[in-house]
Amino acid sequence: MKEILVTILSITGISTVLAVLIIIAEKFLNNYGECEIDINDGEKKLVVEGGSSLLSSLASNKIFIPSACGGKATCGLCKVKVLDGAGPLLPTEEPYLSQEERKEGVRLSCQVKIKKNLRVYIPEELFNIREYISTVTEIKDMTHDIKEFRFEFKDGEDIKFKAGQYMQIETKPYAKVREKATRAYSVSSVPSDNKAVELIIRRVPGGLCTTYMHDYVKVGDEVRMTGPYGDFYMRDDSDDYVFMAGGSGLAPIKSLVMDIMERNLDKKMIFIFGAVSKKDLYYTDFFREVEKKNRNFRYVPALSRPEPEDNWEGETGLVTEVLKKYVEGGKGKHAYLCGSPGMINACVNVLVDSEFDKKNIYYDKFS
């Protein structure tokens, strides 16, 4: 009995000593001290505490790199060119980087741990991305699974964005979700409405952020967001535009169309909106009104599976067939598409067959 007790105590004692040694060793071995991040050949220099990711270190210095997954290496958006000091490429980065990007030193900034001085290149436009603290001032039910939120910025702060761009929202822990999550949503409001943004959010079954936004966020709540992000914005060098969207993809298209109207640009526009049945349509009256006011704008809602009670007399069937019907001769025209990858891929093929130049087809895939 005594021997057993001595053995247990000895093992416990040795384990405790080893654990303490590991903690001490970690403290010293993982202490990288202060490291310098040189951005764009000395244009900006940051001194940060080593040990954190490049993404979070930049964010704590108010440089926001796009990231839809919040640093979990699942979105592949937070790419940054690291010219020096990043260490070897991690297996978690490999699926997101092409051979060319690897050669150029592109890395996922969420996976680069700062252990020594770094030299990085960050595109100029990312310096315009800012952090905003907002208050939810309005929540509208648009369909059975889509809501529109209006966020007004605190202290009258304003935002400068281009129609078509997106913001990243940060959720707070809720229910069984213990960590914050970050997700990207397109702005549906116009750039001139610069004290606020409106975002259209479709519920994703089981989605971390959409569940939070649909079930937990109320009017008056504070929401942190960063932006604006993205290159899905208007290029003014065409007189003929085709807009195509499905589901919550309507958001950036609404912003683009309204921006064109506000700036009195003389553009011919057609907007084809694909939905399943009438219950999935929204902003129909709004776009009908736009149509009445602007003879250059045409709105074509198309249902893939109208219900008998819908009494639908508009376009039906595959959205690609509707697109074929309305879009002929793509030379000189620009197309802006926002929706699911399946829809976008199918529509791009139709547009290319209709002689659209590929470089004039802009899209925001839901991925």
Of 318, 326, 357, 362, the residue at the interface with other proteins (CB under 8 A) is 318
Non-local CB neighbours of 237 within 8 Å, separated by 6+ positions: 334
According to the binding rule CB under 8 A, does residue 72 interact with other proteins?
A: yes
In the window 13-52, what residues touch other proteins (CB under 8 A)? Answer: none
Residue 237 tokens, joined? 């060098």
Q: Minimum Å distance from CB 357 to other proteins?
A: 25
DSSP sequence for 255-315: HHHHHHHHTT---EEEEEEEESSGGG--SHHHHHHHHHH-TTEEEEEEESS--GGG---SE
Find the shortest distance in angstroms from Cβ 352 to other proteins.
18
Geometric angle at alpha carbon 349, from 275 and 341, rounded to 5°: 50
Q: Is 176 in the site for other proteins (CB under 8 A)?
A: yes
**341-353 vs 319-326: helix axis angle to the nearest 10?**
30
Taking the complex as a whole, the smallest distance from the CB of residue 58 to other proteins amounts, in Å, to 23
Interaction of residue 144 with other proteins, rule CB under 8 A: no
Annotate 134-165 with b (16+ C-beta within 10 A) or e (fewer).
Answer: bebeebeebbebbbbbbbebeeeeebebbbbb
Ramachandran category for residue 332: left, alpha or beta (phi over 0 → left; psi -120 to 50 → alpha): left
Assess 95 for contact with other proteins (CB under 8 A).
Answer: yes
Q: CB of residue 314 vs other proteins: minimum separation in angstroms?
A: 15
Q: Given the rule CB under 8 A, which of 46-54, 86-94, 148-156, 222-230 is the region that contacts other proteins?
A: 86-94
- Compute the distance between CA of residue 213 and CA of residue 197 in angstroms, rounded to an integer: 15
Which of 214, 286, 276 is closest to 247 using CA atoms? 276
The site for other proteins, by CB under 8 A, has a size of 41
CB of 94 to other proteins, least distance (A): 7
Site stretch for other proteins (CB under 8 A), options 10-18, 36-44, 88-96, 120-128: 88-96
Work out how close the CB of 332 gets to other proteins at its nearest, in angstroms, rounded to a whole number: 28
Q: Measure Cα distances from 203 to 134, 210, 357 in Å.
A: 21, 5, 34
CB of 278 to other proteins, least distance (A): 14
Q: CA 331 to CA 219: how far, in whole Å?
A: 46
Please select the residue that binds other proteins; options are 45, 116, 305, 325, rule is CB under 8 A.
305
Please give the Cα distance from 227 to 58 (Å, whole number): 14
Q: Which residues, numbered 193-232, are part of the site for other proteins (CB under 8 A)?
A: 202, 204-208, 211-212
Is 183 a binding residue for other proteins by CB under 8 A? The answer is: yes
Tokens for 317, please give them. 């069937």
Per rule CB under 8 A, is residue 158 in the interface with other proteins?
A: no
The yes or no reply on residue 92 touching other proteins (CB under 8 A) is yes
Of 117 and 340, the one with the shorter C-beta distance to other proteins is 340
Return the residue of 126, 340, 354, 362 that touches other proteins, per CB under 8 A: 340
Do residues 182 and 170 touch, judged by C-beta distance below 8 A?
Answer: yes
Which range binds other proteins by CB under 8 A, 39-47, 73-81, 229-237, 285-293? 73-81
**Is residue 98 close enough to count as binding other proteins by CB under 8 A?**
no
Q: Which residues, at least 6 apart from 256, have a Cβ–Cβ distance to it below 8 Å? A: 163, 164, 233, 234, 243, 336
Measured from the CB atom, the residue of 33 and 91 that comes closer to other proteins is 91
Q: Is 18 exposed, middle or buried (0-12, 13-18, 19+ CB in 10 A)?
A: exposed
Would you count residue 319 as binding other proteins (CB under 8 A)? yes
**Rounded least distance, CB 276 to other proteins, Å:** 5
- DSSP conformation class of 332: T
Binding site for other proteins (CB under 8 A): 68-69, 72-75, 91-92, 94-95, 175-179, 183, 202, 204-208, 211-212, 246, 248, 274, 276, 304-305, 317-320, 340-343, 346, 366-367
